Amino acid sequence: MRSLLDILPHSIGQELSLLKEAEWAQIEEIRIRTDRPVELMQGGKPRFLSYHTTGEDASQLLGRLSNYSMYTLEEELKQGYITISGGHRVGLAGKVIVENGVVKGLRDISSFNIRIAKEKIGMALPFLPYLYEQHWCNTLIIGPPQTGKTTLLRDVARLASTGTKTIPARKTGIVDERSEIAGCIRGVPQHSFGHRIDVLDACPKAEGLMMMIRSMSPEVIIVDEIGKSEDVQALLEAIHAGVTIIVSAHGYSLEDLYKRPSFEPLWQFRVFDRYVELNRKNGPGTIGRMYDQDGQEMKYRQGVDVC
């Protein structure tokens, strides 16, 4: 993560360079706000540094993120985030430019949220006995923000595309709308995957699912943060095409998702074989509960920390 120091303004980078390796390892987010102290999220808790960000710091950071060409960030500014080398995502906030009711971009950017992409090789291994039974199971991973959903999906994609001694590698597609799973830079994934991986980067989920099926004939598709009705309809199409889907959704529990109208077709057609609830009890990626297709809790050692 120390490579992040290269994009940060000198004063902020100097402050962060004083941190010990163990402190760096705990950082989940670096929040930089004009006229406010730099905030670190470590282990789910905020920590404020003594340094207050200046307007010059914000301008310098934006310049480095854009290689001093704001035109190159036109599409990213519409979305409100930038993906940088290493797969880290920088969220942005400031004055929103709206034309005819459509967001065109941002200006006067004064808040930056650097979300640290942490690759945890092997994180998905404890899940394999539950998610793979002669074939990959259609799986829905559930959890509130920062519980390790994306990190788990990333490692599942690695295992599916690489294979193991007993599991053959499968053609695996990632529809990565927010560039968080693969962290692509110019179309090339920044994280570790097998030879049989294909990524649609910065592509809306519903459209991307259909594009991936038509163009790459995947056996397994990985998608993060489903929620809209069009996402659900695209998942149904993928299932009907014989593709295994492994996806995530925001929520505290399976019961939470039962209340969402857009998800109703998923229950009606019994799409998923497995449901996995994550929490932060022992840090991101802690298994809460796991359910089978009928919503019956599966027996396993609860509270296992899979980090």
Specify the long-range contacts of residues 160-163, CB closer than 8 Å, at least 24 apart.
160/136, 160/194, 160/220, 160/222, 160/246, 161/193, 161/194, 161/195, 161/196, 161/197, 162/193, 162/194, 162/195, 162/196, 163/194
Residue 213 to residue 225: CA distance in whole angstroms: 19
As beta bridge partners, residue 232 has: none
Q: Indicate left, alpha or beta for 217 from its phi (over 0: left) and psi (-120 to 50: alpha).
A: left
SS3 54: coil
Residue 214 to residue 177: CA distance in whole angstroms: 18
Backbone angles phi, psi at 190, to 5 degrees: -95, -5
pLDDT score, position 154: 97
* pLDDT one digit per residue (tens) for the chain, 307 residues: 556 888 999 999 999 989 998 998 899 999 999 999 999 999 889 999 999 999 999 999 999 998 887 777 888 888 898 888 878 889 999 999 999 988 888 899 999 999 998 889 999 999 999 999 999 999 999 999 889 999 999 999 999 999 999 999 999 999 999 888 998 888 999 899 999 999 999 899 999 999 999 999 999 999 999 999 999 999 999 999 999 999 999 999 999 999 999 999 999 999 999 999 999 888 788 888 999 999 999 976 443 343 3
DSSP per-residue letters across 102-127: EEEEEEEEEEEEEE-----TTTTGGG
127, 151, 306: which is closest to 222 by C-alpha? 151
Sheet holding 37-42, edge to edge: 45-52, 37-42, 27-33, 102-115, 89-99, 81-83
Residue 296 to residue 111: CA distance in whole angstroms: 44
State pTM to two decimals: 0.84
For residue 74, CA distances in Å to 153, 197, 214 come to: 29, 28, 29
78 within 8 A of 103, measured Cβ to Cβ: yes
Backbone angles phi, psi at 217, to 5 degrees: 40, 60
Residue 298 to residue 181: CA distance in whole angstroms: 27
As a whole number of angstroms, the longest Cα–Cα distance in the chain is: 57
Backbone angles phi, psi at 33, to 5 degrees: -130, 135
Alpha helices in the chain (DSSP H): 10-16, 21-26, 55-65, 74-79, 128-131, 149-162, 205-216, 229-240, 254-258, 264-268
Domains detected in the chain: 2-115 (3.30.450.90), 125-292 (3.40.50.300)
Backbone angles phi, psi at 207, to 5 degrees: -65, -40
Number of neighbouring beta carbons within 10 Å of residue 153: 25
